[in-house]
């Protein structure tokens, strides 16, 4: 009885979590429509290709594999696209997710770990690390859709759940053939590497006049393997009787855009071409997690630093050029 339903398990964080599940003795059952995930990323357990909103498909998976819990990743994640097409995001990230939770509950799944986001907080009203008690006020449809899904999950009285609010996922597991390959790629670290490897003409930097030590925005970058280990910790918290909670996942340390670029350039061995642009609307100067709750309740702590994040990402991109030729 160690099967875990993993929706979106062919995606970036989902595939690394499947690796962590495998190492922890669980069997991931991956449900993914491969609209953004990759078949090559499913290395542990069966892949069922399909839509998480397909009630009959989810029921058939539950009947065949009898998962003891679910980890739900499947979602659209591009903020700018959510602004252009909010209906798409609310339909997929909220409405389909709510139907999935209802179906899972009816099929006897009693525990769910939910992939949420720091975007539920919107623009903080302070520069301190963000706690779970901070105001929930998303400023884009992506954040709104994730917050709505969190609420829908909590409403399923037959399911105990942990909502994990990620900060900036980064890094890779090159030794396992896993890494980040989004299309389009909107994350800083892979974009630095793609520009440094000549796959993009230049890195675009938005804002160099923030009230920070070097003028660029500060973010909390967390290794994807640390995120994956947090999902195992959350799963085991629920399986041993834990109650509904939401937890931030970050390192508690901030790094500026320029400092991340410097770390990547050191690993690449040369400078990366850059273009500076004005700030984007809604980008706060500093977003850093207070991760004390996850440390306390899940007995979890991040293990990787920025240098390890960057070196793992560079190694994976160099080894998998064909997979990032998007």
Beta strands 255-256 and 218-219: pairing type?
antiparallel
The phi, psi pair for 6, rounded to 5°, reads -120, 95
Closest CA to 326 of 178, 171, 181, 173: 181
CA dist., res. 55 & res. 53, Å (int): 6
Q: Which residues are annotated as catalytic?
A: 142
Angle CA(315)–CA(251)–CA(129) in degrees, nearest 5? Answer: 140
What is residue 11's DSSP assignment?
S
Q: What is the pLDDT of residue 57?
A: 98
Token pair of 198 as six digits: 């000549």
Mean pLDDT across the chain, nearest whole number? Answer: 95
Task: Identify each DSSP E strand in the chain by its residue range.
Answer: 3-7, 27-32, 47-49, 69-72, 111-117, 160-166, 168-170, 203-206, 218-219, 221-223, 245-249, 255-256, 274-277, 286-287
pTM score, whole prediction: 0.96
The pLDDT value given to residue 326: 46
> Residue 43 — very low, low, confident or very high, per pLDDT cuts 50/70/90?
very high
pLDDT at site 284: 86
Q: Stretch 53-65: mean pLDDT, rounded?
A: 97
Mean pLDDT value across residues 66-84: 95
259 burial via Cβ count (<10 Å: 0-12, 13-18, 19+): middle
Whose CA is closest to 123, among 108, 109, 140? 140
Assign a CATH topology to domain 174-219+253-288+303-324.
UDP-galactose 4-epimerase; domain 1 (3.90.25)
**For the segment 180-217, what is each residue's pLDDT rounded down to a tens digit?**
998 888 899 999 999 999 999 999 999 999 999 999 99
Over residues 149-183, the pLDDT tens digits come to 999 999 999 999 999 999 999 999 999 999 999 88
Domain boundaries, the chain: 3-169+221-251, 174-219+253-288+303-324
| DSSP per residue, 16-57 | HHHHHHHHTT-EEEEEE--SSS-GGG--SS-EEES-TT-HHH
CA distance 263 to 132: 30
Fold of 3-169+221-251: Rossmann fold (3.40.50)
Tokens, residue 210:
């923030």
pLDDT tens figures, 245-275:
999 999 999 999 999 999 999 999 999 999 9
Using DSSP's 3-state secondary structure scheme, residue 209 falls into: coil
More confident residue, 324 or 108: 108
- pLDDT category at 1 given cuts 50, 70, 90 is low
């Amino acid at each position: 009885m160690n099967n875990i339903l993993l929706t979106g398990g062919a995606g970036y964080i989902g595939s690394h979590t499947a690796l962590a599940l495998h190492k922890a003795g669980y069997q991931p059952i991956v449900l993914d429509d491969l609209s953004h995930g990759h078949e090559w990323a499913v290395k542990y357990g069966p892949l069922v290709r399909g839509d998480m909103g397909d009630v009959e498909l989810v029921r058939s998976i539950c009947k065949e594999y009898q998962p003891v819990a679910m980890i739900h990743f499947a979602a659209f994640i591009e903020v700018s696209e959510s602004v252009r097409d909010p209906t798409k995001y609310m339909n997929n990230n909220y409405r389909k997710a709510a139907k999935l939770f209802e179906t899972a509950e009816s099929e006897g799944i009693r525990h769910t770990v939910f992939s949420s986001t720091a975007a539920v907080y919107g623009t903080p009203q302070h520069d301190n690390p963000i706690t779970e008690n901070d105001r929930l006020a998303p400023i884009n449809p992506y954040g709104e859709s994730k917050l709505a899904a969190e609420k829908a999950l909590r409403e399923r009285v037959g399911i105990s759940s942990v909502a994990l609010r990620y900060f900036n996922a980064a890094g890779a597991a090159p030794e396992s053939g896993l890494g980040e390959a989004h299309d389009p790629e909107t994350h800083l670290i892979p974009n630095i590497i793609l520009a440094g490897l000549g796959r993009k003409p230049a890195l675009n930097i938005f804002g160099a006049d923030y009230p920070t030590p070097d003028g660029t925005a500060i973010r909390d970058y967390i290794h994807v393997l640390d995120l994956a280990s947090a999902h195992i910790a959350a799963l085991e918290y629920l399986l041993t009787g834990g109650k509904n909670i939401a937890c931030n996942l970050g390192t508690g340390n901030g790094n500026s855009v320029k400092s991340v670029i410097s770390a990547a350039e050191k690993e690449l061995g040369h400078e990366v071409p850059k273009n500076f642009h004005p700030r984007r609307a809604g980008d706060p100067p500093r977003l850093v997690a207070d991760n004390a709750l996850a440390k306390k309740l899940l007995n979890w702590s991040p293990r990787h630093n920025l240098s390890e994040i960057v070196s793992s990402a560079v190694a994976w991109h160099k080894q998998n050029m064909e997979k990032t030729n998007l």
